Amino acid sequence: MLKSSAAAQMQGPRDTVTLQGMVRDFKSDHPDFGLGLSPLDGHYAGLMAPRLGTNGRPVFVGAGRNVVDQFRDRDDNRIKPYGDRGLVGGHFDIDVFASLENRQRYHKHEFDDRYDTATINIAGFEELLFDDICAGYPNLLRVEVLNPHNSGLGQYVFETDDVYETGAIAGGITRTFFADDVSQFAVTFQTLSRMRGTKPGQAQNDSEDRDDAFAIRLFDTLTDEKVYEIVAYEHVGKDDDDAWDFYSPDDREGVDACGDPIDDRSGIFGAPGNGAITDADSFNEWYRYTPGTNLEKPHGVVLERDPNGVYSFETDRFYPVDGELYGNEGEANNSYFTYSISATGIYTACTDQFIEIQSSDDVWVYINGELVIDIGGVRTPSAQYFALDRLNLADDEEFQIDVFYANRGRAPDSVFRLRTNIEFPTSELTMPSMAGWD
């Protein structure tokens, strides 16, 4: 990110800031909306990949974990959950094979399970040798995924100039392509403890034994020979054969960018769950205009500044399209919608800038594409707080903040509370809507 020149445009704090976003209205028969009470209601973290997709929207990666007790920072603010019961040794190994030679070309241990999520971008991580092995390959390739242990709790993104496809790993990837056309081929593993027990042992030179690991294999469609193979499997420490590690926030201790101490307190995860999201296909309709599935309308929220310099928008009755678009469908309010905001803020170092947000149902916040607030699920009772000093931002730097909100359940209230002391450039008093993402 470049340093901002927008600070020069600032004319001092304003009494109000208007953030303009886009509402997308859904009918109550959509599989993810119009939901009644369920035992699976509550806060589910880890439903989304840790970074936005290349289309600027969240990427659903499958089952998350119910948050039974909230994670908190040293000031007792509720924060994004992280950590989980992980793999023995705390990470899994990656091997890359040039299958024509059937020998290991690359081996690394650094894919850590500390956050219980890891993304491998085959076409984006240079060390995975996709270009070295496949660049210029003349024939169409097909992909095969072996997934015996991760139980489908993961998501893939496949992208070329003409194709953007995402789905659950368990559903398979049925696609042929030329290697040079691929700009992204990413797999995000979720709940990596499900890979426990994948120990190829002597499998470095035996492809049949590697069948017990998680593997992505590329085949020449004309000869049916393997051209490229990447294998992921559990790493076992010599003293940890039967250990289950619960990762407390050890690596969140220390200091932030301003030298202030970080001393987070772990919360507690409960059972896995999908947060009442049907699948990747249904979720991909949430934040894009989908004819026949949703209708959209711009909508602004006005944040008012208090004497402490905190801007806030707080309501328990957030119904921005009452009587509009699909209408109230015989109910008191039009309750089934998503709302997304994209805005540019200015980071002022070591001034305790923060954002805090709460929703009746789901809300996710990303800063520069990184997930910083994670409240998935229906009837989520929690707010979350994020301190910007935890990011590696330069003083006076512009950054992008993306908010993704949803109201999905039949509930008496629609809560939307947003508090922040971030200042926004005067030139962006009205923020751009999300329509350009579609």
**What mean pLDDT comes out for the span 295-324?**
96
Instruction: Determine which of 133-137, 190-194, 275-279 has the lowest per-residue pLDDT on average.
Output: 190-194
Give the residue numbers spanning the domain of 157: 88-234
* pLDDT(8) > 50: no
pLDDT digit string, tens, across residues 326-337: 999 999 999 999
Same domain, 173 and 131: yes
Give domain status of residue 383, yes or no.
yes
Instruction: Find where tokens 């509930």 sit.
Output: 411
The residue ranking higher by pLDDT, 63 or 313, is 313
pLDDT digit string, tens, across residues 159-178: 888 888 887 776 677 789 99
Q: What angle do CA 39, 44, 45 make, to 5 degrees?
A: 165
Give domain status of residue 375, yes or no.
yes
* pLDDT(292) > 90: yes
Same domain, 347 and 281: yes
Which residues contact residue 50 at a Cβ distance below 8 angstroms, ignoring those fewer than 6 apart? Answer: 115, 117, 119, 188, 370, 371
Same domain, 288 and 380: yes
Same domain, 183 and 272: no
Q: How many CB atoms lie within 10 A of CB 145?
A: 18
* DSSP β-ladder status, 226-234 and 261-262: unpaired
Give the model's confidence band at 289: pLDDT under 50 very low, under 70 low, under 90 confident, else very high: very high
* pLDDT(99) > 80: no
Give domain status of residue 98, yes or no.
yes
Total of domains in the chain: 2
Same domain, 378 and 425: yes
**What mean pLDDT comes out for the span 407-431?**
80
pTM over 0.85: no
Distance CA 106, CA 104 (A): 6
Q: Which of 202, 234, 266 is the last residue of a domain?
A: 234
- 3-state secondary structure string, the chain? CCECCHHHHCCCCCCEEEEEEEEEEECCCCCCCCECCCCCCCCEECCECCECCCCCCCCECCCEEEEEECEECCCCCEECCCCCECCHHHEEEEEEEECCCCEEEEEEEEEECCCCEEEEECCCCHHHCHHHHHCCCCCCEEEEEECCCCCCCEEEEEECCCCEEEEEHHHCCCCEECHHHCCEEEEEEECHHHHCCCCCCCHHHCCCHHHHCEEEEEEECCCCCEEEEEEEEECCCCCCCCCCCECCCHHHCEECCCCCEECCECCEEEEEECCCCCCHHHHCCCCCCCCCCEEEEEEEEEEEECCCCCEEEEECECCCCCCCCCCCCCCCCCCCEEEEEEEEEECCCCCCCEEEEEECCCEEEEECCEEEEEEECCCCCCEEEEEHHHCCCCCCEEEEEEEEEEECECCCCECEEEEECCECCHHHCECCCCHHHC
Give domain status of residue 332, yes or no.
yes
The residue ranking higher by pLDDT, 246 or 100, is 100
* pLDDT(249) > 80: no
Same domain, 68 and 152: no
Cβ atoms of 214 and 146 within 8 Å: the answer is yes
Same domain, 346 and 221: no
Amino acid at residue number 37 = L
Give domain status of residue 181, yes or no.
yes
Tokens of 403: 């908010």
Give domain status of residue 239, yes or no.
no
Give domain status of residue 97, yes or no.
yes
The residue ranking higher by pLDDT, 44 or 40, is 44
Same domain, 228 and 264: no
* pLDDT(324) > 60: yes
Instruction: Find where tokens 């600032």 sit.
Output: 10
Give domain status of residue 240, yes or no.
no
Work out the percent of the chain whose per-residue pLDDT is above 70.
74
* pLDDT(290) > 90: yes
